A and B are shown apart, each in its own frame.
Chain A
Amino acid sequence: MMSDTLALSGRSLKKWIRSPFSVIPIVIQAIVWLLLFGNSFNPGNASGASGGSLGVLQQAFGGATNYITYLTPGIIGMLALTGMSFLGVEFVMDRINGYIDMLKTSPIPRSSIYFGGVLQNIVKAMVAAVITFLVALVVPNGLRLATGFGILNLLGVFLAIVMLTTVFSTLFTGISIAAKTTDSFFAIVNFLFFPAAFTSTALFPLSFFPSWLKPIAQANPISLASDAARILIVHGTLSASQISYFAVDIVGLFAYIVVFIVLGTLLARNALKAE
């Protein structure tokens, strides 16, 4: 099953790398969010915001010294979600044009079609994440890593993002296998995107949310991953309580993955069985 999964994800990745529409749109999206949105929204730009009031804002934004430092993990999370809408289309098209049927007449386990999709979507989303991270470092007034940000911090950030892309990929691959048309797939993705993005701490911190929305915002996987990554970016060396905060986020993401793998496998099994 592993070799089939790798063969199938390899197919998609090869196609993706050779297409001019793989990396360029990601770079553009990252620039739009970070350079245009990130720089404009910077609380430090507001007139009169200086000294004490800026300090309060900085505290509200989890200690980030500028807005892009706060925003970057959130944008990575949001772009992972938007990315799924593009990536999922491939499956829907494969289904419509008969490719999935051709796969189904070969002796591969049905689950490898699902896991092949999950894997390639994770890889693509991670490429997007790395690009976004790099763009954030080079834009003016961009991402500032805390002093003491070392290889462990980087690995931790990477872990949080891999887990978030896995959360999305396990869910959306299942949905895209089950979707009968591209329209139905886009409808689902669009229905999920804004609520998921705006109930997360991707763009602004938890303290900004009204109290009824706070529990939802806290449980949102984008919040879990971006908060976990943010702690490592803003604080170079973590205190014990910060480490446990990070650990709780990771456990939360893990729980999502387990649930979505089960859900995605069921969706895929149902969609791939003999008619």
Chain B
Amino acid sequence: MVDQVSFDVAEGELFGFLGPNGAGKTTTIRMLTTLTSVSSGRAIVAGHDVSKDPGIVRTVIGVVPQQLIADDELLGIENVLLFAKLHHVPDEKARKRAAELMKLVDLEASAGKKVKTYSGGMKRRLQLAMGLVHDPRLLFLDEPSLGLDIQTRSKMWEYVRKLNDEHGITVFMTTHYLEEADDLCDRVAIVDSGVIKVSGSPKELKMKLGGDLLSIQVSDGPDLTHFFEGVPDVTEVLKLNRSSYRIKIPRVEKALPEIVDGVVQRGLKISDISFTRPTLDQVFLQMTGRQIRDGESEPATSIPVLMEEA
């Protein structure tokens, strides 16, 4: 299932493990959380080998699974306190910590309600609290925003960022929402068919695609290809038709004044101008030759629209 997957996550990092369903994300996270044995190679979590010292690894990790597992018949807070108990957190500390966490995930008001009254988003937030109640050094989040609507999803991102920024927890998360990873993660690895295709910061990976893409349409006039090519940093110019050009450039804002000035000085008018920033989806497409959501019934979120705006 997973083959030669090699990566490091630094302490304090928010690391994203990206790939389509069936890419090997879950297998990897199961290995790191001691659920699946590592057949060859080594996995070291917080300084401990998961095969040799699974018991120690379990004391330092927090796990938030993909499935909704909180007990419906129990109160929200009871679910959190149970996991505090299983991690041998002393009672008083557990109560304090549970209350803090319920506040963090905005479930203060519902802490005393049965989980069966919770919405899907609330259950996910509750699980975040369940996975954090023993103060883990390292948190594993398996598809934290799966099945959430857009508002709830961005709320979830906010909690994860807060945990990482303010509480210094190292986070290892899997996701197939690439814009989520782009927004949140310090570093990502893209995995497909059990192999890591590429890893690095989202910024680095996007830069590798050659930066921004500027589309410009001008009134009829002389050919501007040569001029555009002469603008500093421009890496590629493509003339689409008599008056439309596509220009590849690392940072569009740096070159834009010169481009606009040049066009105007030549007595031409700009009839349309737009640019797109590369996204992790494009990185993914480049690395794997397909869209991350290929073969999924879930409708792709508005990526084509995002590419057109700005």
Assess whether B35 is in contact with A274, with CB atoms less than 8 Å apart.
yes
Assess whether B82 is in contact with A105, with CB atoms less than 8 Å apart.
no
B26 to chain A, nearest CB (A): 11
Across the interface, which residues of B come within 8 angstroms of A3, CB to CB? Answer: 85, 88
Assess whether B71 is in contact with A105, with CB atoms less than 8 Å apart.
no
B169 to chain A, nearest CB (A): 16
Assess whether A14 is in contact with B69, with CB atoms less than 8 Å apart.
no
User: Does B67 interact with chain A (Cβ within 8 Å)?
Assistant: yes
A5-58 contacts to B, CB under 8 A, are: 7-8, 11, 14-15, 18-19
B188 to chain A, nearest CB (A): 23
Contact of A106 among B58, B67, B71, B74 (CB under 8 A): B58
Across the interface, which residues of B come within 8 angstroms of A101, CB to CB? Answer: 30, 35, 65
Contacts A97-B67, A97-B69, A275-B37 hold; do A105 and B58 have CB atoms under 8 A apart? yes
B80-102 contacts to A, CB under 8 A, are: 82-83, 85-88
Given A11-B74, A102-B63, 11 more A-B residue pairs with CB atoms under 8 Å apart are A3-B85, A11-B82, A14-B78, A15-B73, A97-B69, A101-B65, A103-B86, A105-B63, A106-B87, A274-B36, A274-B37
Across the interface, which residues of A come within 8 angstroms of B71, CB to CB? Answer: 11, 15
Contacts A15-B73, A102-B69 hold; do A107 and B55 have CB atoms under 8 A apart? yes
Across the interface, which residues of A come within 8 angstroms of B78, CB to CB? Answer: 14
B62 to chain A, nearest CB (A): 9
A selection of 29 A-B contacts at a CB cut-off of 8 Å is: A3-B85, A7-B82, A8-B86, A11-B82, A14-B73, A14-B74, A14-B78, A15-B73, A98-B65, A98-B67, A98-B69, A101-B30, A101-B35, A102-B83, A102-B130, A103-B86, A104-B34, A105-B35, A105-B61, A106-B83, A106-B86, A106-B87, A107-B59, A274-B34, A274-B35, A274-B36, A274-B54, A275-B30, A275-B37
User: Does B193 interact with chain A (Cβ within 8 Å)?
Assistant: no
Contacts A274-B54, A275-B37 hold; do A107 and B73 have CB atoms under 8 A apart? no
Across the interface, which residues of B come within 8 angstroms of A8, CB to CB? Answer: 86
A contacts, CB < 8 Å to B: 3-4, 7-8, 11, 14-15, 18-19, 97-99, 101-108, 274-275
User: Does B244 interact with chain A (Cβ within 8 Å)?
Assistant: no
B185 to chain A, nearest CB (A): 22
Across the interface, which residues of B come within 8 angstroms of A275, CB to CB? Answer: 30, 35-37
B contacts, CB < 8 Å to A: 30, 33-37, 54-55, 58-59, 61, 63, 65-69, 71, 73-74, 78, 82-83, 85-88, 130
Assess whether B65 is in contact with A102, with CB atoms less than 8 Å apart.
yes
Contact of A4 among B37, B61, B63, B86 (CB under 8 A): B86
Across the interface, which residues of B come within 8 angstroms of A14, CB to CB? Answer: 73-74, 78
A106 to B130, CA, bound (A): 11
Across the interface, which residues of B come within 8 angstroms of A19, CB to CB? Answer: 73
Across the interface, which residues of B come within 8 angstroms of A108, CB to CB? Answer: 86
A205 to chain B, nearest CB (A): 42
Which 8 pairs show the lowest CB-CB distances between chains A and B? A98-B67, A15-B73, A274-B37, A105-B63, A107-B58, A7-B85, A106-B86, A105-B33
B140 to chain A, nearest CB (A): 8
A106 to chain B, nearest CB (A): 5
A21 to chain B, nearest CB (A): 11
A18 to B59, CA, bound (A): 31
Assess whether B73 is in contact with A18, with CB atoms less than 8 Å apart.
yes
Across the interface, which residues of A come within 8 angstroms of B30, CB to CB? Answer: 101, 275
A44 to chain B, nearest CB (A): 45
Assess whether A107 is in contact with B37, with CB atoms less than 8 Å apart.
no
A1 to chain B, nearest CB (A): 11
CB-nearest residue of chain B to A109: B55
CB-nearest residue of chain A to B81: A7
Assess whether B55 is in contact with A105, with CB atoms less than 8 Å apart.
no
A19 to B86, CA, bound (A): 24
Assess whether A7 is in contact with B54, with CB atoms less than 8 Å apart.
no
A97 to B115, CA, bound (A): 15
Across the interface, which residues of A come within 8 angstroms of B87, CB to CB? Answer: 106-107
Across the interface, which residues of A come within 8 angstroms of B74, CB to CB? Answer: 11, 14-15
A98 to B71, CA, bound (A): 12
A98 to B59, CA, bound (A): 19
Contacts A14-B73, A15-B73, A15-B74 hold; do A105 and B34 have CB atoms under 8 A apart? yes
Contact of A104 among B35, B37, B59, B130 (CB under 8 A): B35
B250 to chain A, nearest CB (A): 43
Across the interface, which residues of A come within 8 angstroms of B67, CB to CB? Answer: 97-98
A274 to B82, CA, bound (A): 23
Assess whether A7 is in contact with B73, with CB atoms less than 8 Å apart.
no
B51 to chain A, nearest CB (A): 9
A46 to B33, CA, bound (A): 67
CB-nearest residue of chain A to B55: A107
A103 to B82, CA, bound (A): 11
CB-nearest residue of chain A to B87: A106
CB-nearest residue of chain B to A98: B67
CB-nearest residue of chain A to B51: A274
A134 to B54, CA, bound (A): 49
A263 to B167, CA, bound (A): 45
